[in-house]
Structure 1
Amino acid sequence: MAKVCPGCECNYFEFIQKFYRDNEASIAYLRDHGVLPLEVICPRCKTPCHYRAERHTWYCGKYKKIAKTKRRKQCPYSASDFNGSFLSGARIEPYKVMCFANHWLSKQWDYQTVSQCLGISLATGAAWQKYCSEVTEHWLDNQEPIGGPGIVVDIDETLFGKMKYEKGKSLSQIWVFGGVERDSKNYFIVPLEEPVSQNLMSLIQKYILPGTVIVSNRWNAYNSIKDYDYVHQVINHSGDSIDEENAEAHTKNVELLWRDIKEWTPGPGNRLQFYKQYLARLLFVQQHTFSTVNHYFFREVARMYPPDFENEETPSNSCNDVQKEHDHENKESEVSD
């Protein structure tokens, strides 16, 4: 896990105190975390652009000589600071994006609070919840593998979801699969697609490094583990080792993980298609301390939406407006040598 930026650790209220109604500080934070670019290279001239802070715009402005004349003209390229970023097309101010994410990453998240405090509509809140969810789902799909030669990893599967009034048919459920390192307690968790056993080995190979000692229950889907580059130990559901040589084999660590996570499991009535969304947010918050969760969230934002202006050729409408103003201020753009 990457080191937290100096001075970046702050709790929920400290984060609000730092950035509420302060777009300048918010943009600086986003730039420091790679969400916004530190520099933009003009794709036409291949030279660094100038930044116009009041317009959040990068522009080139380099003069080029016109062939076979003594005249020169100025490069018209300009681009919004937010092009291709998490804030691309955003209709709310940067500080509101920061505060929205801060609240969304808390256990007390709710639409009404964020709508009233930030002055945004419920529809805007729903849209930004979707954007934030895409970030944590991206993180969930790209978790670092665990284990390694000689390292013990307990694996298990469980069913998330509750029955209405604890009886009858469950309204929404999803199978999830995970593993925990016996010593370090590093773990991964991913949802299982139906049928749950078909993609199991591909997930094991993706999230567990070769040479790992894998401990599992007797589920038939785990039988093929021994055919790959793993050491496989098996227990039964009572916790008794089947192999007398592996008497200490157990899956208590992963079972404790299920217990902790299910405290945050969405209640009855939640839609099945959003369970991965719920799970991703839950795991992201659980794997990071409350004082660093924003740091890692915006680092993941930068990983998902890296600023890239190399292929940007046509300025957006807002950039055109800025360029017109720039051209007006430099109406002598074509001058003699």
Structure 2
Amino acid sequence: MALRLQDDVWICHRRACRTNEATKHSLCVRHGSFFANSKLPVSTIFAVAYFWLREFGSFRTKSFELGVSAKMLTCWERRFRSICSRFYRRHPSIIGGTGAVVQVDETNVTRRKYNRGRIVRRREWLFGGDERGGGRAFMVLVRRRDAAMLTNIILKVIRPGTIIMSDSWRAYSQLSRLPAGYRHLTVNHIVNFVDPHTDAHTQNIESLWQKFKMVPKRKYGLNTKRYTDYIRELLWRREFGELGEIIFNLFEHIAEISPC
């Protein structure tokens, strides 16, 4: 077979293919792939991915610079975000380990819910942890933030042997009862931002909350169906967002999740 570049089509030159009407002698290179059913040139799709990964410009600017309609741009950015989300469904975040330091904290978030023709803003809690120096993190939406709930999550997503740092909020007092292998350090924010004796602090996880709330959509509330995708996108960017590797990582995960 030969590739006809101007049409992105494979052409079969075997006589049987050319003469038999029942046999297709050409096949689009996108057939059965992540790029199937799109009229955008593959080069433009790569450009959309690059702009999305690097977070260049406003949505309007990206649409103008790439020559892509707002509807098409939204569609492709949603597909890329879905890849991040599906990756973490296959590979759930489990962080920490012997000698690793994980800072945990919770923040209040707002989600939109449609109820009898009106939008209701529902306040929930996002509980998360950030592994120092590892680029890995976890975030879990919770309805309540009592000690039992948070402890159960920690046991699921943080490996034994981890040093866990938190503030002195009362729900974390139960972490001292974690099974052997975990160590818990606290910082009292009323007194210090960094504990002078243990160097415990929660600045990394607080920085992660700021990044999550930086985008207006995330700050003022998202549709419930999309919220988890935005959370996993942030986790994916944090773990796989090295400047020289990020676009390779995205398409490697596309190949894994949506193979031809």
**TM-score with structure 2 setting the length:** 0.68
2:229 is aligned to 277
2:255 is aligned to 302
**Following TM superposition, by how much is the alpha carbon of 1:231 offset from its aligned partner in structure 2, in angstroms?**
1.3
**Following TM superposition, by how much is the alpha carbon of 1:100 offset from its aligned partner in structure 2, in angstroms?**
0.8
Structure 1 gap segments, 5+ residues each: 1-49, 64-72, 163-169, 242-246, 308-337
Query: How many equivalent pairs are there?
Result: 236
The one of 129, 132, 142 aligned to 1:179: 129
The one of 79, 82, 91 aligned to 1:131: 79
Trace 1:72-83 onto structure 2 (pairs within 5 A). Answer: 76=23, 80-83=28-31
Trace 1:65-214 onto structure 2 (pairs within 5 A). Answer: 76=23, 80-141=28-89, 142=91, 145-160=94-109, 175-182=125-132, 184-195=133-144, 200=150, 203-214=153-164
Residues 1:53 and 1:212: Cα distance change in structure 2 (over 3 Å) = farther
- Distance (Å, rounded) in 1 between the aligned partners of 2:36 and 2:62: 21
Any conservation in 1 of the 2:165–2:202 contact (CA below 8 Å)?
no
**Following TM superposition, by how much is the alpha carbon of 1:225 offset from its aligned partner in structure 2, in angstroms?**
7.8
The structure with more radius of gyration: 1
Structure 2 gap segments, 5+ residues each: 112-119
- Distance (Å, rounded) in 2 between the aligned partners of 1:239 and 1:304: 47
Between the aligned residues of both structures, percent identity stands at 20
Trace 1:238-257 onto structure 2 (pairs within 5 A). Answer: 238=189, 248=198, 250-257=200-207
SS in 1 for 2:251: helix
Any conservation in 2 of the 1:180–1:187 contact (CA below 8 Å)?
yes
Regions of 4+ moved over 6 Å: 58-63
Residues 1:301 and 1:193: Cα distance change in structure 2 (over 3 Å) = farther
Residues 1:100 and 1:279: Cα distance change in structure 2 (over 3 Å) = same
After superposition, the CA RMSD in angstroms is: 4.1
2:117 is aligned to none
The one of 184, 198, 213 aligned to 1:233: 184
SS in 2 for 1:134: helix
Residues 1:90 and 1:137: Cα distance change in structure 2 (over 3 Å) = same
Aligned AA (1:151) = A
Q: Any idea what the Cα deviations from partners look like across 1:113-135, whole Å, max 9, x if unmatched?
A: 33333333222222112111102
- Distance (Å, rounded) in 1 between the aligned partners of 2:86 and 2:77: 14
**Following TM superposition, by how much is the alpha carbon of 1:94 offset from its aligned partner in structure 2, in angstroms?**
0.2
RCO comparison, higher one (Cα < 8 Å, 6+) = 1
**Following TM superposition, by how much is the alpha carbon of 1:99 offset from its aligned partner in structure 2, in angstroms?**
0.7
Looking at secondary structure, tell me which structure has more helix per residue.
Answer: 2
**Following TM superposition, by how much is the alpha carbon of 1:76 offset from its aligned partner in structure 2, in angstroms?**
4.9
